[in-house]
Amino acid sequence: MTLPSFAALGLPERLCTTLDAVGHHTPTPVQVEAVPSLLAGRDLLGIAQTGTGKTAAFLLPILAARLAAGDRPGRGGARALIVTPTRELASQVAAAFDLYARGTRLGRGVVVGGVPQGPQVKALARGVDVLVATPGRLLDLVDQGRVDLAQFDTLVLDEADRMLDLGFRQPIRRIAGLVAPRRRTAMFSATMAPAIETLARELLADPVRVEVKAATVAVERIAQRVHFVEQPAKRDFVLDLLADPELSRVILFTRTKHGAERLAKHLSRADVAADAIHGDKTQKARDRALAGFRGGATRVLVATDVAARGIDVPDVSHVVNFDLPQDAETYVHRIGRTARAGRDGVAVSFCAPEERPQLRDIERLTGLDLGAGAPPRAGRKPADRNGRRPRRDRRAA
């Protein structure tokens, strides 16, 4: 199927010119379905993981509406509110705004925790077209009388499933209740869990439903393989894997914050340039870790699922699942960190015997045979009785 142009979706020429200049020549499937509906003022429920172009799918109609209005918010004014679950994702959405709105007079603000609120309050006082916020800091400023949500006519809830996972159900409801009742609302989620269905019924009015199948998105450009490894042997095994220079830029997922920190230190002691990002890190430390990874100073970024939600690095060569996630949808989200922007990628998963049930769930979701029902694969150096494998010379790592 030939996808239409951005102009055919109804976007103004000014935005289409900018999109072409930044190398976005053809809309993605989620943009084809979502943009016209949002331009028409419809509420929308989008089921799409990151890497499908969903950020542009909701940002471009907002920018088009603001350009068509032709006015600027007065002091303390604002128009569109985008709520994200994490600080990293808020920064990512703000960076996309800066890319698409360049050459216009449109302005945005970012309201997140973990940093001083003073600069955020000053930006709000000047007036912004778009405010990107995390729920906790946003409601703090509401309670302080620093922001009036009733003036917003557009509300976007990005990665609503992750916000529910983080316990933001009641804050989301409160935010939606404070925004102007006559508004346009869009909600995006990587999964369609029953809790998302319930929230959509509460917050959306006769929404258009747009769905991009997660398994299809994940499998298209990602080579997936599994190594069956005893849990105690995984730390040595990952060093063996990283001896291959083809693993040039790697995101390595662990289940816990403590596990991420320990693994990053283990890799650093073995002369692998590594850093960790997780919820216990300060915002400054998380920004520094991401900057090092994006800039190439760090080869391996060890991450937990929550912290990784804002990681958008186009040239990640490999995703490694050191621990398999508890649910298959999270696996799809994780491996979508590679194969971005039309590139190919590789996903490698370590599976301990006790993780076989998770691997079977992943196979059911993706429709792939990853070996969950098979014995451990041959071809690796034999493990000793403790599950450890002989190490290679790691100087290449």
What number of other Cβ atoms are within 10 A of residue 167's Cβ?
Answer: 9
320, β-bridge pairs: 252, 348
Q: Does the pLDDT value for residue 329 go beyond 80?
A: no
pTM for the structure as a whole: 0.69
Q: How confident is the model at residue 391 (pLDDT cuts 50, 70, 90)?
A: very low
Question: Rounded mean pLDDT of 81-108?
Answer: 92
What is the DSSP track for 212-252?
--HHHHHHHTEEEEEEE--GGGHHHHHHHHHTSTT--SEEE
Determine the Cα–Cα distance for residues 340 and 10; give it in Å rounded to an integer: 26
Per residue in 175-187, pLDDT (tens digit) is 999 998 889 999 9
Greater confidence (114 vs 235) lies with: 235
What number of other Cβ atoms are within 10 A of residue 101's Cβ?
Answer: 21
Give the highest mean pLDDT range of 40-44, 48-52, 327-331. Answer: 40-44
**Of the candidate ranges 18-27, 141-150, 199-208, 326-335, the one whose mean pLDDT is the lowest:** 326-335
State the average pLDDT for the chain: 86
Question: Rounded mean pLDDT of 21-29?
Answer: 89
Please report the pLDDT score of residue 389 as a whole number.
41
Instruction: Collapse the DSSP code of 125 into the 3-class scheme (helix H, G, I; strand E, B; otherwise coil) and give the result.
Output: helix
Q: Does the pLDDT value for residue 322 go beyond 50?
A: yes
Please report the pLDDT score of residue 73 as a whole number.
75
What number of other Cβ atoms are within 10 A of residue 170's Cβ?
Answer: 10
Q: Does the pLDDT value for residue 383 go beyond 90?
A: no
Please report the pLDDT score of residue 31 as a whole number.
94
Determine the Cα–Cα distance for residues 215 and 40; give it in Å rounded to an integer: 30
Q: Does the pLDDT value for residue 50 go beyond 90?
A: no
Please report the pLDDT score of residue 308 as a whole number.
64
Question: Rounded mean pLDDT of 45-62?
Answer: 89
Instruction: Collapse the DSSP code of 158 into the 3-class scheme (helix H, G, I; strand E, B; otherwise coil) and give the result.
Output: coil
Give the highest mean pLDDT range of 203-217, 231-245, 338-352. Answer: 231-245
Structural domains for the chain? 7-212 (3.40.50.300), 216-396 (3.40.50.300)
Q: Does the pLDDT value for residue 386 go beyond 50?
A: no
Task: Decide if 389 contacts 381 (C-beta within 8 A).
Answer: yes
Please report the pLDDT score of residue 303 as a whole number.
94
Question: Rounded mean pLDDT of 102-127?
Answer: 92
Report the b/e string of 5-38 with b at 16+ CB within 10 A. Answer: ebeebebeeebbebbeeeebeebbbbbbbbbbbb
**Of the candidate ranges 130-144, 180-194, 366-380, the one whose mean pLDDT is the lowest:** 366-380
The Cα-based distances of 325 to 306, 335, 366 in angstroms read 12, 11, 14
2, β-bridge pairs: none
Instruction: Collapse the DSSP code of 132 into the 3-class scheme (helix H, G, I; strand E, B; otherwise coil) and give the result.
Output: strand
Per residue in 274-283, pLDDT (tens digit) is 999 987 888 7
Structure tokens at 258: 């403590």
Q: How confident is the model at residue 261 (pLDDT cuts 50, 70, 90)?
A: very high
Structure tokens at 297: 């100073």
Q: Which strands sit side by side in the sheet containing 78-83, from one edge to the other? A: 108-111, 128-133, 78-83, 154-157, 184-189, 44-47, 208-211
Which among 334, 341, 337, 319 has a CA at the least distance from the CA of 365?
A: 334
Please report the pLDDT score of residue 4 as a whole number.
83
State the first-to-last Cα distance of the chain, in angstroms, to the nearest integer.
Answer: 43
Please report the pLDDT score of residue 46 as a whole number.
95
